[in-house]
A and B are shown apart, each in its own frame.
Chain A
C-alpha cells in the first residue's frame, strides 16, 4: 500500500513542477501552432500539399506526436536535473523500492505530456478536422501509451547522461530525427527505401499513424499493428528504465 503512495507522491511532484513552469508549457504550444499554421499552410499551398488533400489535417496528428515527443523526453531527462539538485539522492536513499520511484516519475511525465497533447488536440478546429467525443477519447488512449514509452525512453537516456547540458544534443540528435522520420510531415509511401526503413524502426511512426487513423481515417498500417508496436515499445522502455535504476 505504501508503495502506491510513493508512486503517487512522485507523480504529484512532476505535476507540481510542470504547472510552475508556465513558460515551458506555452513554448511547446507555440511551437506546435507554428508548425501547424505556418508550415501547414505553406506546404498545403504547394502542389505536394494539394496532392495529399487537406495537408493541415494530415499534419495535425504528426504535430500532436511532436508535442508528446518533446514533452516526454524533456520530462524523462529532467531526472538529470533532480540529480544535479541533489534531490534524486534523497529519493534513492529512502527506504522505498526503486521501481515505485521510476514508475511514479514515468507516470508523472506521461501525465504532463498527455496534458500537452490534449491541448493540441483541442486546437483541432484550426485545421478543419472533425472532432467528437469518441475520437477525443481514443486519441487520449493512444497518446497515453505513446507518452509512457517516450518518457521511459527519456529516463533511460538520462541514466547514461551526467549533465543537463546534454539536452540540446539530445534535441538535435534524437528528437528532430525522430520527428522527421515519423511520417508526420509526409506520407511514408512516397519516401525512398532507406528513409522508409528508418521510418519503420521509429516507434513514433506508429503513434502518429494510430492517431491519424482515429482522427482523419487514413493510415499506413492496421491500427492493431500500431497499438501492438506502441505497447511493446512502452513495455520494453519502462522495463529497461526499471533495470537501470535498480542497478544504481
Chain B
C-alpha cells in the first residue's frame, strides 16, 4: 500500500530525512515514533505530497508522490499537526468546503457530512463557528473532514498533541474503530510512546532522520530482554563507573541525573543495584517492564522526550513546503 525507498530530504544543513526505506501494508496502523525534529513530519509531508523529497522515491496506493500527486491526494486523508480549520466558518461549512474540494458527489454530500459529524459527536455544534470550539472538538472536526471522501489511507501528524486525556482517549478509540470497521490504513507520527503502544500494529522508531528500528511494540520491547531499573542520582558518572563489571547488568545508559540499567530479573536486582551504587548515592529507584521509550533509549542513548531534538528542522520545512 505504501512503499518508501531510500527517501531523503535536507533543509539547509539539516538532514531531516536521511535514507529511510519502508513498506506499509493494507489495513495496518503504523506509527513513526521519535522525538521532535526527528523527521516524522517531513516524512509524512513527503508521503502526502506536501513537499518533494531530494532523493529516493515513494508511492502510496501505487501513485508516485512526485509524478501522480493529484491522484495520490484523492485517495488519502490528512490530519495536520497544526490547526487547519477556518475559524470564521462553522464546523459544517468547513466540512462542505472539503466535500467540494474532494469531489464528493453533490447528492451524497449532506448525508456524508451529517454522518461524519455524528460520528465525531459534533452534530449539535455543527452550526457554531469553529472559533468557539475546544481543542478536542477541533481535532475531531479535522478527523471528520479528512474522512469526507472515504480515503483508504489516513495520515495523521501527532494526532493527540495538546489534547486532554479524555479527548486523547476519544481519538484513539475512533482511530482503532476506523481501522477495524472500515479497514482504513492509518499512518501516524507521535512522540507519545503510550500512543504508539496503544494504537500501532507496527512502530518505526525515527531519530535524526533515520529509521533505527521497526517492528511490533512487542518485538521491539523484547529486544531489551529484561526489566528496566532507573536510578536517580546526583552523580551518574561516578555511579555508572561502579557498574562497569557488574555481570547482572546487561546494559547501562546515562542521561542527565538518571541511569537506566537493563537487568534480567528486576525484583532480585534492585537490592544489588542499591548496594553496588552505594545507598547514599541513590536518590530514588524505580523498576518497570520495558516500554517503547526504553527501546528508544536503548538505540540512541537519549530519552525520547528529552530536549535534544532539533525543532529547527520542522520550522524550516513549513516555509519551504510545496504550498506553505
For the complex, what is the distance from the CA of A41 to the CA of B93, rounded to whole Å? Answer: 46
Indicate whether B87 reaches chain A with its CB closer than 8 angstroms: yes
Q: How many A-B residue pairs have CB under 8 A?
A: 81
Stretch of B75-83, B177-185, B198-206, B242-250 with 4 or more beta carbons under 8 angstroms from chain A: B75-83
- Residues of A close to B212: CB separation below 8 A: none
Indicate whether A27 reaches chain B with its CB closer than 8 angstroms: no
Indicate whether A13 reaches chain B with its CB closer than 8 angstroms: yes
| A2 pairs with B323, CB closer than 8 A | no
- Binary flags per residue of B74-111, CB closer than 8 Å to A gives 1, else 0: 10001010111111110001001110111100100000
For the complex, what is the distance from the CA of A93 to the CA of B98, rounded to whole Å? Answer: 11
Question: Residue on A with the closest CB to B75?
Answer: A95
For the complex, what is the distance from the CA of A162 to the CA of B320, rounded to whole Å? Answer: 11
- Residues of A close to B74: CB separation below 8 A: 95
For the complex, what is the distance from the CA of A16 to the CA of B93, rounded to whole Å? Answer: 10
Indicate whether A88 reaches chain B with its CB closer than 8 angstroms: yes
Question: Residue on A with the closest CB to B131?
Answer: A20
| B93 pairs with A92, CB closer than 8 A | no
| A87 pairs with B103, CB closer than 8 A | no
For the complex, what is the distance from the CA of A87 to the CA of B142, rounded to whole Å? Answer: 11
| A93 pairs with B50, CB closer than 8 A | yes
Distance in Å from the Cβ of A157 to the closest Cβ of chain B?
15
Could you tell me how many residues of chain A have their Cβ less than 8 Å away from some Cβ of chain B? 27
Indicate whether A90 reaches chain B with its CB closer than 8 angstroms: yes
Distance in Å from the Cβ of B173 to the closest Cβ of chain A?
25
Q: Which of A8, A90, A162, A248 contacts B98 (CB 8 A)?
A: A90
Indicate whether B73 reaches chain A with its CB closer than 8 angstroms: yes
- Residues of A close to B83: CB separation below 8 A: 85-86
Indicate whether B321 reaches chain A with its CB closer than 8 angstroms: yes
Q: Which of B49, B70, B87 contacts A85 (CB 8 A)?
A: B87
| B73 pairs with A95, CB closer than 8 A | yes
Q: Which of A13, A17, A89 contacts B50 (CB 8 A)?
A: A89
Question: Residue on B with the closest CB to A80?
Answer: B324
Indicate whether A227 reaches chain B with its CB closer than 8 angstroms: no
Distance in Å from the Cβ of B142 to the closest Cβ of chain A?
9
Question: Residue on B with the closest CB to A21?
Answer: B88
For the complex, what is the distance from the CA of A92 to the CA of B73, rounded to whole Å? Answer: 10
Distance in Å from the Cβ of A120 to the closest Cβ of chain B?
25
| A13 pairs with B323, CB closer than 8 A | no
Q: Can you report 24 A-B residue pairs in the complex whose CB atoms are below 8 A from each other?
A: A6-B100, A9-B97, A10-B97, A13-B89, A13-B97, A16-B88, A16-B93, A17-B89, A85-B83, A85-B85, A85-B86, A86-B84, A89-B80, A89-B323, A91-B97, A92-B323, A92-B324, A93-B48, A93-B49, A93-B323, A94-B73, A95-B73, A96-B101, A162-B319
Q: Which 5 A-B pairs have the closest CB atoms?
A: A92-B323, A86-B84, A94-B101, A95-B74, A95-B73
- Chain B residues within CB distance 8 Å of chain A: 48-50, 70-71, 73-74, 78, 80, 82-89, 93, 96-98, 100-103, 106, 129, 145, 319, 321-324
Given A93-B49, A93-B50, 19 additional A-B pairs, CB 8 A: A5-B100, A8-B100, A9-B96, A13-B86, A16-B88, A85-B84, A85-B85, A86-B85, A87-B84, A88-B324, A89-B323, A89-B324, A90-B98, A90-B145, A92-B323, A92-B324, A94-B98, A95-B70, A95-B103
